[in-house]
């Protein structure tokens, strides 16, 4: 296959290619399994209601994760799974949705404005049913960035996700060691912005920041820093497991007996 042909196929994306196949074969293929329902919710359901429907329907789903280096899972997991990969294990193996697809377009160093400027490549071309976004740890370190500008970027991102026909999920970033990351000292000012957007836009919120602070109070700050972080910013493998498990609880798919949720892994005799 030559380069021009590859570029053409890449640019067609899920919607155009599905429509082309439907035209050729006269089938009833849908450009999006959920249709506009998932973006506009004329049925009156909440996003969480529709997410539960997706988890129980027979049709396969496309789950897309995007964000910065934390979602990317770059370096700091020590070779273990990042939280999107733990999510994939829960969905595709433990729950048995083997035909579901989990995609990760997180990029280290990126902020909300980077996702917006690259929306077609990082989100639209995959025609996802669900888009999970964790962003903010780099936004607060950008020169000239303010919580108000950040609010505008994330609000626009949610609107574009909905317009694409997908259900958005928002995450607050994890706690970081502020005294060792002075360039990100304003991160705590960005967390309430995400909570307000989630409330105003009726978006499902996985509040990692609140959970990590709660654990810091119940255990100790040192416990969280030592056991869940690999450096002042990035979760290690245990931190990623905690992010995934909180997501499971938020989506009501947490099972304490399941290995991804903290249950034992059965190795068998060998």
* pLDDT tens digits, one per residue of 211-269: 999 999 999 999 999 999 989 999 999 999 999 999 999 999 999 999 999 999 887 77
Band (20; pLDDT cuts 50, 70, 90): very low
Handedness of CA 224, 238, 55, 95 (dihedral sign): negative
**The most confident of 42-46, 71-75, 102-106, by mean pLDDT:** 102-106
Which pLDDT score is estimated for 197? 98
Arithmetic mean of pLDDT, 172-187:
97
- What pLDDT band is residue 94 in, cutting at 50, 70 and 90? very high
β partners of residue 170: 133, 205
- What is the share, in percent, of the chain residues with pLDDT greater than 90? 78
Tell me the whole-structure pTM to 2 decimals: 0.84
Q: Which class does domain 32-261 fall in? A: alpha beta
58 with 99: CB under 8 angstroms?
no
**In Å, what is the CA distance from 157 to each residue of 88, 124, 186?**
23, 12, 21
pLDDT given for residue 2 in this prediction: 45
| Inter-residue contact 242 to 236 (CB < 8 Å) | no
What's the pLDDT score for residue 43? Answer: 64
pLDDT at 6: 40
The pair of structure tokens assigned to 171 is 């995450």
Check pLDDT > 80 for residue 187: yes
């Amino acid at each position: 296959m030559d380069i021009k042909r590859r570029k053409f196929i890449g640019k067609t994306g899920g919607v155009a290619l599905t429509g082309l196949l439907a035209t050729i074969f006269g089938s009833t293929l849908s450009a999006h399994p959920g249709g506009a329902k998932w973006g506009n919710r004329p049925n009156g359901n909440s996003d969480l209601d529709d997410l539960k429907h997706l988890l129980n329907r027979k049709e396969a789903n496309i789950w897309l994760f995007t964000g910065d280096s934390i979602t990317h899972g770059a370096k700091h997991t020590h070779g273990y799974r990042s939280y999107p990969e733990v999510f994939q294990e829960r969905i595709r193996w433990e729950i048995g949705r083997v035909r579901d697809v989990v995609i990760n377009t997180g990029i280290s160093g990126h902020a909300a404005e980077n996702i917006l400027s690259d929306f077609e490549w990082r989100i639209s071309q995959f025609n996802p049913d669900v888009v999970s976004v964790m962003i903010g740890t780099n936004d607060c370190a950008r020169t000239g960035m303010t919580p108000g500008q950040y609010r505008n970027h994330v609000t626009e991102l949610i609107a574009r996700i909905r317009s694409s026909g997908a259900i958005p999920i928002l995450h607050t970033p994890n706690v970081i060691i502020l005294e060792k990351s002075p360039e990100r000292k304003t991160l705590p000012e960005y967390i309430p912005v995400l909570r307000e957007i989630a409330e105003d836009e009726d978006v499902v919120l996985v509040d990692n920041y609140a959970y990590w602070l709660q654990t810091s109070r119940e255990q100790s700050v040192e416990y969280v820093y030592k056991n869940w972080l690999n450096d002042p910013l990035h979760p290690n493998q245990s931190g990623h497991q905690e992010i995934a498990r909180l997501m499971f609880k938020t989506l009501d798919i947490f099972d304490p007996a399941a290995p991804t949720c903290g249950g034992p892994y059965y190795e068998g005799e060998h």
